[in-house]
Amino acid sequence: MSILVVGSVALDSVETPFARAEDTLGGAASYFTTAASLYSQVNLVAVVGSDFPREHLEFWRKRPVNLAGLQICEGNTFRWGARYHMDMNARDTLYTHLGVYADFHPVIPDEYHNSELLFLANIQPELQLEVLEQAPAPRLTVLDTMELWIMTTRPQLTEVIKRVDILLMSEEEVRQYTNCSSLVTGVRRLFDLGLKYIVVKQGSYGALLFGADGTFFSAPTYPLEEVIDPTGAGDAFAGGFLGYLSTVEPQANGQYAINDIKRGVVHGNIIGSFVCEDFSIGRLRALTMDDVASRYRTLVECSHFDPNWRGGTTV
């Protein structure tokens, strides 16, 4: 099953309290594409400027990544700069230069039309809508966004939310969008827009899955001792989530089994944890499915507890 993604491909400059990296490969679609191509074919729709280093394209060409929908335009590649706090769950955006994204209109090539899964990675909601207009009814559509779009293009973002199956949002973004201090109340308001599932990303604390059918699942986090750079963890999470789902068949009714959705969230957490171990896509480059499987086993072990206690009696 192939996955279509539209989102940013960027050059990032990132500073943590301990190190910095300049003009490294970044962008939501870059992290997603690199992560999800560990599982299946990824069809990328994005734009880069004439200054974009060709070595990054060469890297993707060696993986199951289709670049037919990647436009290369005269001008500057999207650039983003950020500085992390000592608690690396928090960061300040220093600048966002849209560059060639300012005039970009995504075009989905014919050869992408059989993509069963669609990921609308972080980018202007207007562009996400343009992709929805062109995409021929994928089985599952997943959306990610960011504070900037919640604050500046809320009506357009709401239009996109109404048209997708699954929304990925950080806990902070749920609060910003819904204006609710209770996460559970905020999530309930989001379900009014017609979503099937909402995944609330909690940075180094894991992720929560909510279903419109009442499903609640708390996915554990992998205990990393050293975080080098958390940038892209959310996008890599999406890559692990949709990557895993691309390897399983939906049920006869076309819906994914809830256990598969839960496994997808765990894969998301695992791939997200790997990304944090280096700047840019450094750690994802050589990642193998054996590495993923080993972390999967650890997470099962550390989140499993005895279900047999009934309470009420003491000996």
Site residues, ligand AMP (CB under 6 A): 8, 10, 12, 26-28, 80, 96, 122-123, 146, 148, 231-235
Could you tell me the smallest distance in angstroms from the CB atom of residue 172 to ligand AMP? Answer: 11
To which residue do tokens 């074919």 refer?
A: 41
Report the C-alpha gap between 211 and 190 in whole angstroms: 11
**Nearer of residues 70 and 123 to ligand AMP, judged by Cβ:** 123
Report the C-alpha gap between 10 and 138 in whole angstroms: 26
The three-point CA angle 256-234-279 to 5° equals 135
Could you tell me the smallest distance in angstroms from the CB atom of residue 65 to ligand AMP? Answer: 17
Could you tell me the smallest distance in angstroms from the CB atom of residue 68 to ligand AMP? Answer: 21
Could you tell me the smallest distance in angstroms from the CB atom of residue 269 to ligand AMP? Answer: 13
**Nearer of residues 24 and 115 to ligand AMP, judged by Cβ:** 24
**Nearer of residues 34 and 141 to ligand AMP, judged by Cβ:** 34
Which runs of consecutive H residues, i.e. helices, occur in 95-205? Answer: 125-134, 147-152, 154-161, 171-178, 183-191
**Nearer of residues 30 and 66 to ligand AMP, judged by Cβ:** 30
Report the C-alpha gap between 199 and 177 in whole angstroms: 14
**Nearer of residues 38 and 82 to ligand AMP, judged by Cβ:** 82
**Nearer of residues 10 and 45 to ligand AMP, judged by Cβ:** 10
Residue 249 in 3-state DSSP? coil
Could you tell me the smallest distance in angstroms from the CB atom of residue 252 to ligand AMP? Answer: 35
Could you tell me the smallest distance in angstroms from the CB atom of residue 81 to ligand AMP? Answer: 9
CB burial class (10 A; 0-12, 13-18, 19+) of residue 58? exposed
Report the C-alpha gap between 87 and 17 in whole angstroms: 9
Name which of 247, 241, 229, 240 is nearest 291 in CA terms: 240
